[in-house]
Amino acid sequence: MSRPMTIAEKILAAHAGLDSVEPGQLVQVEVDLALGNDITAPIAIRTFRETGVTKVFHREKIALVSDHFVPNKDIKSAEQAKQLRDFAREQGILHHYDGGETGVEHVLLPEKGLVLPGDVVIGADSHTCTYGALGAFATGVGSTDLAATMITGKTWFKVPETIKFIYKGTLKPWVCGKDLILHTIGDIGVDGALYMAMEFTGPVIDALPMADRFTMSNMAIEAGGKVGLINPDETTMAYVQGKASREFTPLRSDEDAQYARVIEYDCSGLEPQVAFPHLPENARPISEAGNVPLDQVVIGSCTNGRYEDLEIAARILKGRKVAKGLRLIVLPTTPKVYADALENGLIKTFVEAGGVVGPPTCGPCLGGHMGILAKGERALATTNRNFVGRMGHPESEVYLASPAVAAASAVIGRIASPEEL
């Protein structure tokens, strides 16, 4: 009889061909999907070539997504995207996304059914932990690790300890997954879960829609987490049904699994949160935000650029105008999200409000393009990081919040709650 295990331990044990594993153990595991983007994959491709290996381990288990500097912003980014294109063609890689087919990787891959419950996924991008929302052990790795997996189909992990987070109560209007995760990071700090699995549980999580779950898992890395996992349930299965084109085995934590820590939150009194510069842990309730005038608001990214996020923002912006002197940038994350937003009038709402709607791209989130900040400027964004210089000039400021707070702030011209409208 194997020991009771957490979902993280169960997935790693299954992929290592072992009955059970325990924290601290080193395991080699089979990988279901390996991901690279236009910044990280070129390095992996170069490493792959240096080994002299000529064929990837599996042409259907690698995904290459050009999303950071697309549409290409300069010669260097054009060269990077071309490297992915050439490699994908040469290797016959099935899941290569570029041009009008591409989108922000961590929204695109679940949408395409490429990540499923019980999977092990590695990506040369720190926010690969997003897929934990589906009950997959998904984590970011370096480009050389990606190259090794492209060759062998395997990687190794130290089995992480798990912190169990239990969210109780009922959420107030306008409070969503982004607020829960910002509050959590504010509580435990940016290294509060260093190399640990964060397991999000409780009645509040059970009631959360898939979009909010993705947001929470996406930001596990902002607390230092290795993975941010949610046990698969009916909501998960409803999401993957019709998307999955292969067999998968959902796994759940045992009732008597061992945790390093258990942290409980009563969410009933929780307000929308804002993370102040220059760390995601600088979270405070909206009522304590004070008067912070803004130059720019960005709605998008792998954290909050899904259709549901745009819908919330559009509901607030409908019939209203963006504040004079403020720039609102809205970036739907995938062609499907864009098409759905177009069909349902969301794009029209953003344009009529005075917003700029751009193509699916990571763009401003990483200070890449399409929304760079000048010296002294302030932005509020639905993204995941607000480090010094993250969105442009080292003397600019980034504040993090939900799509609801972002939309309300764009109208009022300073950090504001939707309640004010």
Q: What CATH architecture does domain 274-420 belong to?
A: 2-Layer Sandwich (3.30)
pLDDT higher than 70, residue 417: yes
The whole-number pLDDT of residue 366 equals 92
What value does the mean pLDDT take over residues 136-144? 97
What Rg, from alpha-carbon coordinates, does the chain have?
21
Q: Is the pLDDT of residue 1 over 80?
A: no
Longest C-alpha distance within the chain, in Å? Answer: 66
For every residue of 14-54, DSSP letters joined together read HHHT-S---TT-EEEEE-SEEEEETTTHHHHHHHHHHTT--
Neighbours of 343 (CB within 10 A): 9
Alpha helix positions (H), 243-306: 301-304
- Which residue spans within 276-349 are E strands per DSSP? 283-285, 296-299, 327-330
Using alpha carbons only, give the angle 86, 92, 98 rounded to the nearest 5 degrees: 55
Give whole-number Cα distances, 61 to 35, 133, 334, in Å.
Answer: 9, 20, 21
Say which residues have a Cβ less than 8 Å from residue 294's Cβ, sequence separation at least 6. 326, 378, 379, 380, 399, 409, 410, 413, 414, 415
pLDDT tens track for 53-93 = 999 999 999 999 999 999 999 999 999 999 999 999 999 99
| Per-residue pLDDT tens digits for 304-315 | 999 999 999 999
Q: Where do the domains of the chain lie?
A: 7-264, 274-420
C-alpha span between 179 and 310 (Å, rounded): 16
Please tell me whether residue 85 adopts helix, strand or coil conformation. helix
- How far apart are alpha carbons 349 and 268 in whole angstroms? 32
Tell me what the mean pLDDT of segment 334-343 comes to: 98
Residue 354 identity: G
CATH for 7-264 is: 3.30.499.10
Q: Determine the average pLDDT of the residues in 20-32.
A: 97
Burial class from Cβ neighbours inside 10 Å (0-12, 13-18, 19+) for residue 318 reads middle
What is residue 74's predicted lDDT score, i.e. its pLDDT? Answer: 96
- For residue 195, what pLDDT is reported? 95
CA distance 387 to 7: 31
- For the whole model, what pTM was predicted? 0.96
Structure confidence at residue 2 (pLDDT): 76
Q: Do domains 7-264 and 274-420 have the same CATH topology?
A: yes
Residue 155's pLDDT is what?
98
Q: How many CB atoms lie within 10 A of CB 235?
A: 16
